[in-house]
């Protein structure tokens, strides 16, 4: 005679390992390397989860577990009361996962003990449709998309580089975009600055950017800073952001942004364009070189004319700005290999990319060990350096 469900569950619990909520709490407190897997349904998960838990509904466990965990990882599965997670633990054991346990009493017992829980970001039906192409990527999924929606990126400049970067970051669902620019939309901008339109000519660029980005994606909050970045305001402006994209067009601002990012420990995705050539790299304090390692001193003005003086192919900032946006998304999601320690150059006339290795300067006045970063008069620094 076939066993009843109760008999089956009893047999399963003899075969798997169950752990108490006190044991799991201790693992989290001590920072032990353990992955929590929530096997409840989406509506249950939306009500709260154990800190840092990965959500894989029981019905999708076999399909998705390989995307989320290695077979030799320490895994603790939980459901509402411990039944589904026990059955799931045996399934994973049969699949070759060697260190799997089930949380006895599940989420209900954890919550009754007043242990800490998190309120996860749960995507609406409309968001699931909007970001569907992200959600099917194992490297993004709902967890990654939720992370993007909580992320904050600052764009220095709403011009040639900032325009494409901002549009793609907004489309990707980065929840907050700060835009720093003191300029207004000019007719000559429209050859490359795709955020703006003829109808918004004469408007502050930050307001034009806000209108364009919020029209593209209502999930995105745009924070405009209609001011020029200076030593006096840079830390205030950067303070609430996770990553900054440098789309500046002058050396004083680039050095200022670099020094402030090193001082504040903030990743800085740098891009620049000149005529038919562009370059992009990523500076992460403590992980690689900074802008001063690449350019210890600014070049003389005659060797570094602005786009207004030298010209620029209109599509070139689009290429570089989209590479900057790509770097930002990888940093926010914690996936892939960034351009830290590498400078990617692009020759539009030859359609050629080239990669150069960048090394940290052990004597860099800003990022060398023990260096004390002071925000200075960067106009004077660049004039003196040149």
105: left (phi over 0), alpha (psi -120 to 50) or beta: left
| Residue in 61, 53, 58, 47 with CA at minimum distance from that of residue 24 | 53
Q: Rounded to the nearest 5°, which phi and psi values hold at 25?
A: -60, -40
**Cα four-point dihedral sign 211, 212, 217, 221:** negative
- Per the CB < 8 A criterion, the answer to whether 208 and 189 are in contact is no
Contact 111, 79 (CB under 8 A): no
Compute the radius of gyration of the chain from its Cα atoms: 25
Q: If we measure between CA atoms, which residue out of 367, 380, 377, 373 comes closest to residue 295?
A: 367
Helical segments of 217-345, H only: 234-238, 251-264, 291-294, 307-310, 316-333
> What's the residue count for the chain?
386
Which residue of the set 290, 307, 367, 382 is catalytic?
307
Which tokens sit at 360? 């940290």
Residue 290 is among the residues annotated as catalytic for this protein: no
Q: What amino acid positions are annotated as catalytic residues?
A: 307
């Amino acid at each position: 005679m076939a066993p009843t469900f109760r008999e089956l569950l009893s047999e399963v619990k003899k075969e798997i390992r169950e752990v108490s909520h006190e044991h799991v709490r201790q693992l989290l407190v001590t920072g032990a390397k353990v992955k929590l897997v929530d096997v409840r349904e989406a509506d249950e998960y939306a009500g709260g989860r154990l800190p840092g838990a990965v959500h894989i509904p029981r019905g999708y466990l076999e399909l998705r577990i390989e995307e989320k965990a290695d077979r030799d990882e320490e895994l603790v599965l939980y459901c509402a009361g411990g039944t589904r997670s026990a059955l799931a633990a045996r399934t994973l054991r049969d699949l070759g996962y060697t260190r799997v346990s089930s949380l006895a009493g599940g989420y209900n017992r954890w919550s009754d003990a007043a242990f800490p829980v998190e309120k996860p970001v749960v995507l609406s039906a409309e968001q699931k449709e909007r970001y569907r192409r992200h959600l099917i990527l194992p490297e993004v999924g709902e967890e990654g998309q939720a992370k993007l929606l909580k992320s904050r990126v600052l764009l220095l400049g709403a011009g040639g580089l900032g325009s494409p970067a901002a549009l793609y970051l907004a489309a990707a669902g980065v929840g907050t975009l700060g835009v720093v620019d003191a300029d207004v939309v000019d007719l000559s901008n429209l050859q490359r600055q795709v955020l703006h339109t003829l109808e918004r000519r004469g408007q502050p660029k930050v307001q034009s950017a806000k209108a364009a980005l919020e029209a593209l994606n209502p999930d995105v909050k745009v924070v405009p800073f209609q001011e020029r970045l200076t030593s006096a305001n840079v830390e205030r402006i950067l303070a609430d952001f996770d990553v900054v994209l440098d789309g500046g067009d002058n050396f004083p601002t680039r050095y200022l942004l670099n020094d402030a990012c090193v001082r504040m420990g903030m990743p800085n995705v740098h891009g620049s364009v000149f005529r038919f050539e562009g370059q992009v790299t990523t500076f992460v304090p403590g992980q690689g070189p900074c802008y001063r390692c690449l350019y210890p001193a600014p070049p003389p003005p005659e060797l570094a004319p602005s786009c207004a003086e030298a010209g620029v192919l209109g599509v070139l900032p689009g290429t570089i700005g989209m590479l900057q946006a790509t770097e930002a998304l990888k940093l926010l999601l914690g996936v892939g290999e960034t351009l830290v320690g590498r400078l990617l150059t692009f020759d539009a006339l030859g359609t050629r990319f080239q990669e150069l290795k960048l090394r940290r300067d052990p004597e860099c006045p800003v990022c060398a060990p023990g260096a004390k970063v002071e925000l200075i008069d960067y106009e004077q620094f660049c004039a003196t350096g040149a």
